[in-house]
Chains A and B, each alone.
Chain A
Amino acid sequence: MLIVEDHGTLRAALRDWIEYLVPGVSVRSAGSVQEALDTLAQAAADVVLMDIGLPGMSGIEGTRLIRARAPETPVVMLSILDDRAHVAEALDAGASAFVPKRRMRDELPPVLRAVLEKRSSRAGGAVSGGGDRP
């Protein structure tokens, strides 16, 4: 799993939480889209958790690039901004799900489970999660 989040303290807390939620998972992290692309070039990830507001290239653009390069890699977008426009933009960019940070503690675990299950069964399609789907 790859976490793309620019704030180090939040990234570390998210990493610990994911390791607790998904025992045995290998978690890598990146602070920018470019760092994420470099990390994914070394080895693919089961799931990418991508913040929208990143320095330089946004998480939306990063999701487009990752999905273009590795269509089998699901991307779950995370953002403080959860208005309909941002949710629509994230899903349009190819995100499998959108989880608003203000409800992440409650909503990320079921979304992550669903994405991982879909991934393991090799099924396609978007996963409903958290945000207001347009």
Chain B
Amino acid sequence: MSAEVQLLAFHLDRERYGLPLASVERVVRIVEITSLPKAPEIVLGLINVQGRVIAVVDVRKRFRLPQREATLSDSLIIARTPARAVALVADSVTGVVECTERETVSARAIVPGMEYVEGVAKLGDGMILIHDLGRFLSLDEERRLDEAIAHA
């Protein structure tokens, strides 16, 4: 029997993406994002959630979606990469979905050029791209982000 995979599903524009539920800490309403000079381009800024400073990363840029300003209806998904907690701005969070490992396909088997996607899963009502948080920031971006935060 194929193991169940639990994903937190969210939308960016019309597209649906998922994060492995185990990597998600919490979802909060959008808060003010403070710019972070000298941070890598992929970092939108910093947020303060209950005294904790977390970098907000630009998931739209990684997925090659049109850029837009954050709005009050957006949500922030706080999740853990291997190196740090990060926040992702999502248009909406639709909840937890489950699929079996048999229903998921490795992105690398499908098409080259989707480094930030771990896999694709077929759900009853469409497809979901599973976000690979481990590859979200390159080593160089991690280093530059550390330096920018240290100088903030």
Q: A residues engaging B (CB < 8 A)? A: 6-10, 12-14, 16-17, 53, 55, 80-81, 101-106
Instruction: Give the interface segment out of B1-9, B119-127, B134-142, B144-152.
Output: B119-127
Determine chain A's interface SS by DSSP, over half rule: helix
B109 in contact with A17 (CB, 8 Å): no
Quote the shortest CB–CB distance from A127 to chain B (angstroms): 20
Which of B13, B105, B129 is within 8 Å of A102, CB to CB?
A: B105
Known A105-B110, A105-B111: A6·B126 in contact at CB below 8 Å: yes
Out of A6, A8, A12, A102, which one reaches B110, CB within 8 Å?
A102
* B117 interface residue per 8 A CB criterion: yes
| B114 and A13 contact, CB distance less than 8 A | yes
A53: contacting residue among B106, B112, B117, B122, CB under 8 A: B122
Q: Closest A-chain residue to B116, C-beta based?
A: A9
| Interchain CA distance A126-B118 in the complex, whole Å | 33
Q: Which residues of chain A are within 8 angstroms of B14 by Cβ–Cβ distance?
A: 8
Q: Check B127 against A13 for contact (C-beta < 8 Å).
A: no
What residues on A are CB-neighbors of B127 within 8 Å? Answer: 6-7, 10, 53, 80
Question: 1/0 per residue B86-128: CB within 8 Å of A?
Answer: 0000000000000000010110111111100100111000110
